[in-house]
Amino acid sequence: MLTHLADGVRVHQSEPIRNNTVVVRGSAGVLLIDPGITGDEMACLAKDLAGEPVVAGFATHPHWDHVLWYADLGEAPRYGTARCAADLEEFLSEADWKSGMTEGVPPDIVDDVPLDLFGLITGLPAGTTHLPWDGPRIRIIEHQAHAPGHAALLIEEHGVLVAGDMLSDVLIPMLDAESPVDPIDEYLAALQLFDDVADDVQVVVPGHGSVGGADELRIRIDQDRAYVQALRDDRDITDPRIGPSAKTGWEWVTDVHTGQLQRLAERTTRDAL
């Protein structure tokens, strides 16, 4: 089901891990941002569009649940940043990419995720500031937090920030521990970019979790910054998304936090050698 966010902007939320697909109406059809994640859901999305043609797609980053597609959605160009597309091209060049990809998929839906059109993303030229399409101006806010070539999209005239896998009420900041540069610095830099546009935002849509208003955006920026700074300073972390206060059904995020601590510790040890 599509839910209204602003004039010409709607959202569809996937059940398994609360992925948000954003639909933006343009002059000749719609833009789909991060469609997914099961075949049935994407077929439902195509039906809900009720004849509105899909004229473009956009993947906020190269993780599996953001680069899916379904034949019923058509053959529109699917964009991402240049670095996002390059990361996917390298991944798809591996002979066993399907087995590597499915390792991250929840076991109960692994057979329902369509892979025929997986990862076919066209990289926009480096430095592109706005999405090339016939619709509302959409600013590309590229950064390197969470994944290579990650980009948030700001639908400027409607004040809707599509944040990708950041600013979630259910997921903690998940850093790219394999980044060639300091992932904590990268994450803090990305949060500053969100801070810089916060006055222009009325609605924030995370990759996973609940849509929030302008006040909620600032709360989430501050909460994510506090988590990342505590990681940097090796301080105890008190965060409502982990531990006893985690939302029902999202207790596994505490395990994600524990694993993240371990990977960052291993990175620190490796860099010290």
pLDDT at residue 29, rounded to an integer:
97
Question: Range of 23's domain?
Answer: 1-126
pLDDT in tens, the chain (273 residues): 899 999 999 999 988 789 999 999 999 999 999 998 999 999 999 999 988 999 999 999 999 999 999 999 999 999 999 999 999 999 999 999 998 888 889 889 999 999 999 999 999 999 999 999 999 999 999 999 999 999 999 999 999 999 999 999 999 999 998 899 999 999 999 999 999 999 999 999 999 999 999 999 999 999 999 999 999 999 999 999 999 999 999 999 999 999 999 999 998 888 776
Same structural domain, 102 and 167 = no
Q: With residue 184 as reference, give the H or E element that holds it.
A: helix 183-197
Strand order in the sheet with 3-6: 3-6, 9-13, 20-25, 30-33, 54-58, 78-80, 122-123
Same structural domain, 99 and 154 = no
pLDDT at residue 268, rounded to an integer:
84
Same structural domain, 182 and 240 = yes
Same structural domain, 141 and 121 = no
Beta-sheet pairing, 54-58 with 122-123? unpaired
Same structural domain, 119 and 192 = no
At a CB cut-off of 8 Å and minimum separation 6, what does 88 contact? Answer: 62, 67, 80, 119, 121
pLDDT at residue 178, rounded to an integer:
86
Q: How many domains does the chain have?
A: 2
Q: Is residue 132 assigned to a domain?
A: no
Q: Is residue 209 assigned to a domain?
A: yes
Q: Is residue 53 assigned to a domain?
A: yes
Residue length of the chain: 273
Q: What distance in Å separates the CA atoms of residue 63 and residue 87, rounded to the nearest whole number?
A: 10
Same structural domain, 98 and 10 = yes
Same structural domain, 218 and 92 = no
CATH number of the domain that residue 10 is part of: 3.60.15.10
